[in-house]
Each structure stands twice: as structure tokens, then as C-alpha cells.
Structure 1
Amino acid sequence: MTSDTTAAEKTMSPEATAGLFTDDVRTARCAWCQATPLYRHYHDSEWGFPVADERRLFEKICLEGFQSGLSWLTILNKREAFRSAFANFEAEQVAEFGESDVKRLLGDAGIVRHAGKIASTINNARRVIELRREFGSLGAFVWRLEPEATSRPKRITQEAVRAMPTSAASIALSKDLKKRGWTFVGPTTLYAFMQAMGLVNDHLEGCASRQKALAARAAFKPPR
């Protein structure tokens, strides 16, 4: 979320030094979500909350790949169009996409029309099916690499998050997926994925969603 944080800082309230902003009812949030109500809703209800659902995990990996070189807000604004274009990211259906689907996707102005990223999404859908045979689900594969609490900063501050564009866990996950034939799964992309899917909680200290995400993780049972 580094690029969005930088943009938001230009209009931040006095909480800027902590990387936070507050709305009209004084709810403190991470500054990167300040731009739009949709972005704030995503921050409040999705980002950092643990996810086991395979469809959502696959969707997020794909959309993080599409985000490369862009902002997450750009992708979030197009998410419903992406879902429509890619069969709601149901891996079995995407794995069956062929040349006619690629042509359709390259002509779809609602999504990011990047031939390499489209091909990657189809490829990675096929790799999801392979992972199931070995691990049972994409969720079981991903959550086994949840980082130990002792490997995380004691306090999640703006400075701490900026110093972590990757992590040992995201590097390990990237290497493992690449070995299995996945593409567009670099360690920075996968750290953003881990942030979003709740494998780490990078809501800043003082953010109203931080404790909610912690409580959700405490009640969450990782897939095995």
C-alpha cells in the first residue's frame, strides 16, 4: 500500500505522523484508504481480515498481479468487471479458458488489458487445481506459511510497514509458487496478498480496524 499512503499523506489530518486519518465521526483509519468511500469500506471490512475461501484467495493473487505498476484503488474500482470477465475467479472455469477467451479479455475495457497478466491468470488457475491434489486447497497451502508472531515487529507503525515491502514468509511463498509454475507472484506482490488476506495484520497502531482484525484472527481456524 506504499503508493497509496504517499498520495493520502498530502491531505492528512494531524494524525499524519502516525500514518492515520480520521473521518467526520473521528474514526481513525490507515491513511492509504482515505481517497474514496469504496476504499474505506475495503479497509474496514476486508483488508487484514483472515480468509480461507479458495476463490477469494485465488482472486486476490490474480488481482495483485494485475496491480503491478498500478495502484490497488485502480484495481478495486475494476474488481466487479474482473469478476465478470474471469468467471468470478472460479479456478476450474478459468483453467478452461482458451484463445477465444483471451481475445475477449483483451477487448474488455472494464479490466486491465495486459496479455501477460491475462495469460498468467489462466496459467495460475491450472496450478490451483494441481495444488489441491497435494494440499487439499489453496488455503491450506498458503496458511502453512503464516509467519510466526515472533517474526513480526512489536509495533505496527507507518515506519515499520514501509520497511517491509517483503518478508521472509512472502519470499518463501514466492519461491514455492514459482517452482510450481505460477507467474506474477513476486515477493512484494505476495506480501501485499498476505496483508490483504490476514496472514499478517498491518493495520497501524491506532487504526480502528486493527483490533477487529486481531479478534477475527483469534477466532479463525486456518485450513489444513
Structure 2
Amino acid sequence: MQTIKCVVVGDGAVGKTCLLISYTTNKFPSEYVPTVFDNYAVTVMIGGEPYTLGLFDTAGQEDYDRLRPLSYPQTDVFLVCFSVVSPSSFENVKEKWVPEITHHCPKTPFLLVGTQIDLRDDPSTIEKLAKNKQKPITPETAEKLARDLKAVKYVECSALTQKGLKNVFDEAILAALEPPEPKKKRKSQLFPQVAGNQEFLLCSPAKSTQVG
């Protein structure tokens, strides 16, 4: 069975771990959320063939800058995450995260992922941002950055409501399986299979890389 390795990066507190827990368990974690999620293998059916999607969380804090790249070898696709209500995390996509992954894995495709979209219309969140003369990141702004940084595409989701959540990982799988050139042709063949036949078979966690 072919394995697809998907590594999730981005600033601390943008919801990377909640994203993975919500996707693999089909529910938002209501209590304790660990700094780093145990790695999981999820079985995904694509065109009638089973693939193992290996999901690897990373810690975004600077304390882990030397340790984090140990997760990068053999990565098939990266998810570069930011919170749509954290302009600093969006800025760090360009300043830190894309330079880091392209330094270690220059040929590996990546998606730009906006998280916490349920907070984009939240009055208290908007008010806090306004006090700093800031606004939530719009999809159009994020799509432009994705193009500028040569991401495969921009996708966004809410781990809380699960809106757009499955699509993030469908697109990650497609990016990992598609060669750079005939993207459109492969996508039309693969996407209905991914969207229609995904199965969750949670295996025992892979060896944990939990760091604190």
C-alpha cells in the first residue's frame, strides 16, 4: 500500500493540532489539546486503491526550530497553516514557513491553509483585531499569497464546524499524487474518487514525535 506523508506546519496556536484531531476523529477536541498530536495513519481510497495518509503534526514555537525539520524527510505534501484571524501568522507564512520547507524540501508541493474561519465573522474577534487596526485575512488576499509563493492552491477550513475540513485533505492527497505538469487531467480523474470513497480507518498511532 502506497503511503502519502503529509506534514502540517505553521505558527503556534493557529489550530494545527485541532485540525488534525477534528479530521481523524470527526469531532472537535473540547478539552485538552496537546502541543503536538500523535502521528496517525488514515486509510484513504483513491480510484479503488487504498493509500495510507500519514499525518505529522509539528510544533510552531521557536523552541522547536532545530527539532522540527527532523519530520521533513520523505514528505509528499506540506500543509502551511495560518489563522485567518491572526495577521501575524499569515505574515509568517511568507517570512518563515515557506522559506523553511523549501530549504529542506525544495521539490515538495505545499498547500496554503487558512484555519479558524468560523472566527472571521465573530464580533469579539473582529473587535480585538480592530483595536490593532487589523482585519481578518480574506480568501482573496490568501489566494494571492498562495500564487506568489507558488503553493499548489489556497484552501481554508474550520476545525470547529468542520466546514472545508475534508476538502483540505482531499486537496493535499491530490497534490501529493499529481506530477507538476498534467495537473488538470489527473485532478479530473482523481477528485471524484477521493471525494466519494474516503474511508477512515484509524490505525494505532505511528511512533509519536510528541515534544512536550
Q: Same fold (TM over 0.5)?
A: no
TM range (shorter): under 0.3
What TM-score does the superposition give when structure 1 sets the normalisation length? 0.25
Higher helix share: 1
What TM-score does the superposition give when structure 2 sets the normalisation length? 0.26
Higher strand share: 2
